[in-house]
Amino acid sequence: MSVSGTADSGTRLRTADDDIARRFSESAAVRDSPVMPTADFHDWFAACRRRNDYRVTRVPFAQLDGWSFEPDTQNLVHRSGRFYSVQGIEVNTDRREVHTWTQPIIVQPEIGILGILVREFDGVLHCLMQAKMEPGNVNTLQLSPTIQATYSNYTRVHGGNSIPYLKHFLSPRRGRVLVDALQSEQGSWFLRKRNRNMVIETTEDIPLHEDFCWLSIGQLHELMRIDNLVNMDARTVLSCIPFATPTDRLSTPDSDSFGAALANSLSSSSRALHDRPGLLSWFTEFKARHVLTQRLIPLGKLRNWIRTAEGIHHEQGKYFTVLGVDVEATNREVSHWAQPLLAPRSQGILAFITKNIDGVLHVLVQARTGAGTYDVVEMAPTVHCAPDNLGEGSGDPRPHFLDYVLTARPDQIRYDVIHSEEGGRFYHAQNRYLVIEADDDFPIDVPDDFIWVTARQIIDLNQHGNYFNVEARSLLAALHTHALW
């Protein structure tokens, strides 16, 4: 690898990584910015919405232009053989109540880029965000990263318009990499899907296209309190950003404030209930001792799933439906296309339970296995379920802590926002994201599948891929909105 010029004070060596966390933390402290005042943001966003015309129509599979069911397998594929396909999967695992099942799953082996370009304005890092339409969005337009590009996109398989700002994310690049990790997406719906989550810093003057704006992290944290505004791709990239509480901002251990305990939890000098080897060992144990085998099977050979002209659905009406949409848009790379989407049948509950343990906020995460999980388990929210899929015949017991979350008192609820999952693959997929502060009498001893971790530990592990699932990463981004900088 060649070395870019970073000479300062006679050394060729880089400054410490802590410096990056410090700069992001300063950006998070800026809750409003003159570059794009939050008050103006909403007008700008509304204008983006008005400026473009979108029409998304559910259509039967027979009208899904470019897509068809492969004769042998009945897999749903694009005529180019690219993009993604909907296939069948047979799962065997000792990690779920039901040990074997089949289901449709989205197969997209290529790795895309979700990237945010950042730049300093008046010494504060700002993120270049995009008002972007996706066909599965409930409200069409959501606030998205600078780029979200599949490999097919950015290598121009579909021959669309070029992607603005893409060059900043492709190597060799002039900017500085602040984040670059392969992170998983929904393990229940994707087979081993990963995208590259990137944050690149530029010092250049960047032309501002009309659907883009610069926002501080603090502004983004405020906007993350609004339902269905900050999209999944933005949330997962934001979750990878390292923050750190400076030592002089740490609170005394006897503070009982949520924000103070979170500040302590974000510090690299904070102590944790489990040290790093203990935490890694808990995780390694699941991979070493449990089994997840994933076998692709023809979509036509699924058990318990029914295909009609309009959709592929579960015989009990649970889980999700695979359906088709026809899309017309005026500001996308391609202005008219059709595609299949996966539509969940009900809203999920995704919750972090947190607890102040000796002055340091800890988050309760669980080891979870989905049909498409990359390597047996990932760490997931304390509660990660769709309650409507439970109950009679599901084989699933009532999830741990679900009732605790659903009966939390208002003063325990630190975050409660409806967010959408990626609208390029999922249709009206809304989940309720909650951060709950547990009472003092909430147990420290938890079932084997659960472990208490600090915000610092999550941030450090999340620099590497496949530790936290995408739902936990959204909640990590949500948790950060609460930090007192």
Token output for 266: 């974000």
Q: How far is the CB of 254 from its own copies (least distance, A)?
A: 10
Q: Which of residues 107-126 bind its own copies (CB under 8 A)?
A: 111, 113
Site for its own copies (CB under 8 A): which residue of 71, 81, 159, 277?
277
Rounded Cα distance, 323 and 340, in Å? 5
Nearer to its own copies, 133 or 199 (CB): 199
Minimum distance between the CB of residue 262 and its own copies, rounded to whole angstroms? 15
5 forms part of the interface with its own copies (CB under 8 A) = no
- 79 contributes a contact to its own copies by CB under 8 A: no
Strands 292-297 and 76-78: unpaired
**According to the binding rule CB under 8 A, does residue 157 interact with its own copies?**
no
User: Which span (64-72, 265-273, 338-346, 395-403) binds its own copies, by CB under 8 A?
Assistant: 265-273
444 makes contact with its own copies (CB under 8 A): yes
Candidates 97, 159, 205, 288; binder of its own copies (CB under 8 A) is 288
Question: Does the footprint of its own copies cover residue 345 (CB under 8 A)?
Answer: no
Q: Applying CB under 8 A, does 15 fall inside the site for its own copies?
A: yes
* Binds its own copies (CB under 8 A): choice among 35, 163, 166, 273: 273
Q: How far is the CB of 85 from its own copies (least distance, A)?
A: 17
Q: How many CB atoms lie within 10 A of CB 398?
A: 11
Distance CA 367, CA 287 (A): 10
> Looking at 38-46, 216-224, 329-337, 448-456, which segment touches its own copies (CB under 8 A)?
448-456
Q: Out of 36, 48, 125, 178, which residue is the one contacting its own copies (CB under 8 A)? A: 178
Contact call for residue 357 and its own copies (CB under 8 A)? yes
Comparison of 113 and 385: residue with beta carbon closer to its own copies? 113
Q: Does 272 bind its own copies (CB under 8 A)?
A: yes
- The amino acid sitting at 382 is T
State yes or no: residue 94 binds its own copies (CB under 8 A).
Answer: no
Stretch that binds its own copies, among 5-13, 23-31, 54-62, 319-327 (CB under 8 A): 5-13
Distance CA 168, CA 327 (A): 29
Distance of CA 274 to the CA centre of its chain: 25
Please say which residue, 177 or 334, places its beta carbon nearer to its own copies: 177
Q: According to CB under 8 A, which one of 360, 386, 435, 438 is a site residue for its own copies?
A: 360
Rg (the chain; Cα; Å): 22
Among 10-18, 51-59, 298-306, 332-340, which window interacts with its own copies (CB under 8 A)? 10-18
- Pick from 120, 204, 256, 358: which binds its own copies (CB under 8 A)? 358
- Does position 398 interact with its own copies (CB under 8 A)? The reply is no
Instruction: Give 113 or 266: the residue with its C-beta nearer to its own copies.
Output: 113
- Report in angstroms how near the CB of residue 165 gets to its own copies at its nearest: 17
Q: Does 35 bind its own copies (CB under 8 A)?
A: no
C-beta closer to its own copies: residue 96 or 271 = 271
What are the distances in angstroms from CA 169 to CA 2, 115, 184, 242, 373?
17, 7, 19, 19, 27
353 near its own copies, judged by CB under 8 A: no
Among residues 165, 282, 415, 485, which is the contact residue for its own copies, using CB under 8 A? 282
Site for its own copies in 216-255 (CB under 8 A): 253
Show the tokens assigned to 408: 């939390």
Stretch that binds its own copies, among 84-92, 280-288, 340-348, 476-484 (CB under 8 A): 280-288
- 194-201 and 112-121 beta bridge pairing: parallel
For residue 81, state whether it binds its own copies (rule: CB under 8 A). no
Asked if 180 interacts with its own copies (CB under 8 A), we say: yes
Q: Could you say whether residue 160 binds its own copies (CB under 8 A)? A: no
Rule CB under 8 A: which of 181-220 touch its own copies? 181-182, 196, 198
Count of residues engaged in binding its own copies, rule: CB under 8 A? 53
Which residues make beta-bridge pairs with 314? 305
Contact set with its own copies (CB under 8 A): 1-3, 10-17, 20, 111, 113, 171, 176-182, 196, 198, 253, 269, 271-278, 280-282, 284-285, 287-288, 357-358, 360, 444-446, 448, 450-452, 463-464
